[in-house]
């Protein structure tokens, strides 16, 4: 299979592992649950999970059962928790592959117990407590008491209980404190304590690293991939994360425009003077959002503005006369001593690094490397 297009997403597996280890050390070696959902935020879950596994990581989480089943090919004897809601009709696949599921409600648990009547092995579950996120899980005391009673079933392995901070990346602790207190009160309802108790996401993992609590697991998501959940978390200066992903391409065409000449769909750009325009083979079909128009990227060592509307497969930048076909273009990440912050790239587009990563489409080649060598 040929690869004729120079656009690529480079993933630094050394930086990935370093981030995981730094966050684990920060939290007094609580169990770090590596979040590899959504294809590891678009960076390639199989390669990433396998690399972490080969370096001793044994706890992972996905969003769906399908994602978990795919990863079991490379992390067979690890705990894999599905964070979303799984159809009870499919729990046999979780049992057969030793996958842990989230219990969001008493109704779900009852349906699972009905399915379990014809199955021999136990189903591992983590009960989800809704402490203020409002997404899945329950906060109803009577419902939680009913769940607790059903957990006595010989068909259930009550492996974990968890919740999720919704504002840990904010500027204060007020809502976090409310959720923490709510969570700890709800935990008391359960007559047995499970193996794993967790509430901290990436922001909570960093923010509350020195807290003395009953939790023994933290969920490491966006921080694993070298991004701070927010500027507030970065300012805490508790951990120096290493960038993991770099989006690169090359100039494929350069031409001179005269003052007043227009370009792009909707003739949205007009040359302010005689200037040079370079074309780069990446567009919104690759997941580079149209909102990136106007952002300055690196072409060689120069800061060059994206001009005209981002097209489906290509975009244009205003550059100087020294730019040539074949010059490297850096959208975000680090390359050859140059750096463009993905947070700046995301903020310019009124979004977050999570979305920027997840949007990069499959037609963009992923290149993995460690010890400065491509795999």
- Catalytic residue annotation: 37, 265
Q: Which two tokens stand for residue 165?
A: 């901070």
What is the Cα 306 distance to its own chain's centre? Answer: 26
H helices present in the chain, as ranges: 13-26, 37-41, 45-54, 65-71, 91-96, 106-116, 141-150, 174-187, 202-207, 231-235, 342-348, 353-359
Are 23 and 223 within 8 A, CB to CB? yes
Q: Among candidates 246, 306, 241, which has minimal Cα distance to 279? A: 306
Q: How far apart are CA 247 and CA 304, in angstroms?
A: 15
Reading the block at residue 37, the tokens are 């959902």
Using the structure block, give the residue that is written with the tokens 């060689």. 300
Phi-psi group of 40: left, alpha or beta (phi > 0 → left; psi -120 to 50 → alpha; rest → beta): left
Give the pair of three-digit tokens for residue 297. 């990227």
**Which tokens belong to 67?**
């994602």
């Amino acid at each position: 299979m040929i690869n004729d297009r120079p656009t690529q997403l480079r993933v630094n597996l050394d930086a990935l592992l370093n981030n995981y280890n730094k966050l684990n050390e920060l939290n007094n070696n609580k169990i770090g649950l590596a979040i590899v959902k959504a294809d590891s935020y678009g960076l390639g879950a199989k390669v990433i999970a396998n690399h972490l596994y080969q370096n001793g990581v044994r706890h992972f989480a996905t969003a769906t059962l399908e994602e978990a089943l795919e990863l079991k090919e490379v992390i067979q004897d690890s705990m894999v928790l599905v964070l979303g809601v799984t159809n009870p009709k499919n729990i046999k696949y979780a049992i057969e592959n030793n996958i842990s599921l989230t219990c969001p409600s008493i109704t779900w648990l009852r349906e699972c117990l009905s399915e379990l009547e014809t199955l021999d092995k136990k189903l591992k579950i983590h009960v989800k407590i809704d402490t203020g996120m409002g997404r899945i899980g329950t906060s109803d005391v009577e419902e939680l008491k009913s769940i607790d009673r059903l957990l006595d079933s010989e068909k259930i392995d009550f492996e974990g209980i968890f919740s999720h901070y919704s504002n840990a990346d904010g500027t204060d602790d007020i809502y976090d404190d409310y959720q923490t207190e709510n969570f700890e009160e709800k935990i008391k309802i359960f007559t047995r304590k499970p193996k794993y108790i967790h509430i901290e996401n990436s922001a909570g993992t960093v923010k509350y690293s020195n807290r003395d609590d009953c939790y023994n697991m933290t969920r490491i998501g966006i921080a694993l991939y070298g991004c701070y959940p927010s500027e507030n978390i970065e300012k805490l200066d508790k951990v120096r994360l290493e960038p993991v992903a770099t989006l690169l391409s090359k100039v494929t065409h350069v031409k001179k425009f005269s003052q007043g000449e227009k370009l792009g769909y909707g003739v949205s750009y007009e040359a302010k003077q005689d200037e040079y325009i370079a074309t780069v083979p990446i567009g919104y079909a690759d997941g580079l959002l149209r909102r990136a128009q106007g952002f300055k990227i690196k072409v060689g060592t120069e800061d060059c503005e994206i001009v005209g509307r981002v097209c489906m497969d290509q975009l244009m930048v205003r550059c100087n006369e020294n730019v040539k076909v074949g010059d490297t273009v850096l959208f975000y990440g680090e390359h050859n001593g140059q750096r463009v912050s993905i947070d700046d790239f995301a903020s310019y587009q009124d979004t977050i690094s999570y979305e920027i990563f997840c949007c990069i489409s499959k037609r963009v080649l992923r290149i993995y490397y460690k010890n400065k060598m491509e795999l």
